[in-house]
Amino acid sequence: MEGFHERGLRAGAKDNGAPGLRLDYSPDYYAAFLIDPEGNNVEAVCYADHEREA
């Protein structure tokens, strides 16, 4: 997820939400958001059991 966000920024996208948990969506909703050069919101999301990863 971090790679998606970082590479998107390097390619000219604008930050619209750094990688992280979005607890207001779901307890396991981990996402990052970019605005591409044409103005589209691009989202990468992963549903992960973060308790298991700890």
Taking only the tens place, the pLDDT of each residue in 9-41 is 999 999 999 999 999 999 899 999 999 999 999
Please indicate, yes or no, if residue 44 is contained in any of the structural domains: no
- What's the pLDDT score for residue 51? 56
- Stated pTM of the model: 0.80
Structural domain count of the chain: 1
Please indicate, yes or no, if residue 8 is contained in any of the structural domains: yes
Please indicate, yes or no, if residue 7 is contained in any of the structural domains: yes
∠ CA 10-4-30 to the nearest 5 degrees? Answer: 135
Please indicate, yes or no, if residue 9 is contained in any of the structural domains: yes
According to DSSP, residue 49 is labeled -
Name the residue with higher pLDDT: 24 or 48: 24
- What's the pLDDT score for residue 19? 96
The radius of gyration of the chain's CA atoms, rounded to the nearest angstrom, is: 12
Q: Is the pLDDT of residue 50 over 90?
A: no
Please indicate, yes or no, if residue 22 is contained in any of the structural domains: yes
Indicate the pLDDT class of residue 1, thresholds 50, 70 and 90: confident
Contact assessment for residue 25 and residue 38, using Cβ atoms and an 8 Å cutoff: no
Q: What is the residue range of 20's domain?
A: 1-28
